[in-house]
Amino acid sequence: MRKGGPTTVDEYLAEVPSEDARRTLERLRAIVRDEAPDAEETMSYGMPAYTQNGPVVYFAAFKNHCSLFPGTTTEEFADALAGYKTSKGTIQFTPDRPLPEDLVRTIVRRRLEVNAEAAAKRPARRSRGPAR
């Protein structure tokens, strides 16, 4: 990656050195955009990020693996993630063993649900009225 880092997801993906990792992340991007078409696609912490009423998912390529950061604990998906290296908020995978599409879709849908529930509980913002 260049100094200063990419400012868009397209730039980020173009700079992923491994063609296999790039294709894997492009597929992940397509799944996220399909499941969360209204999510904002941005760069955050130097990686692609998707937000809608809060963080949905982030993903990134590293030297020996790729990671999905589901914006929440991975414990809820522990059974489906058996065989993948995980930590509290990270799922590691490789291009030759990517995350199953249906699992990614489930994670994204769940994040959207959790974020919508949290947004519904937040107090409505009060209008300040017209400027004086």
Share of the chain above pLDDT 90, in %: 80
Per-residue confidence (pLDDT) for residue 122, from 0 to 100: 81
Sketch the domain layout of the chain as residue ranges: 9-111
Tokens of 88: 């509290």
Per-residue confidence (pLDDT) for residue 131, from 0 to 100: 59
Among the four given CATH numbers 3.40.50.720, 3.40.190.10, 3.90.1150.200, 3.40.50.1010, the one describing domain 9-111? 3.90.1150.200
- Distance separating alpha carbons of residues 120 and 124, to the nearest angstrom: 9
DSSP state of 3: T
- Distance separating alpha carbons of residues 126 and 74, to the nearest angstrom: 35
Instruction: Report the predicted TM-score, pTM, of the whole model to 2 decimal places.
Output: 0.87
Name the residue among 53, 62, 82 with its Cα closest to residue 16.
62
User: Mean per-residue pLDDT for 20-49?
Assistant: 97
Instruction: Tell me the per-residue pLDDT of 56-110, one tens digit each, with 9 for 90 and over.
Output: 999 999 999 999 999 887 888 999 999 999 998 999 999 999 999 999 999 999 9
Per-residue confidence (pLDDT) for residue 127, from 0 to 100: 59
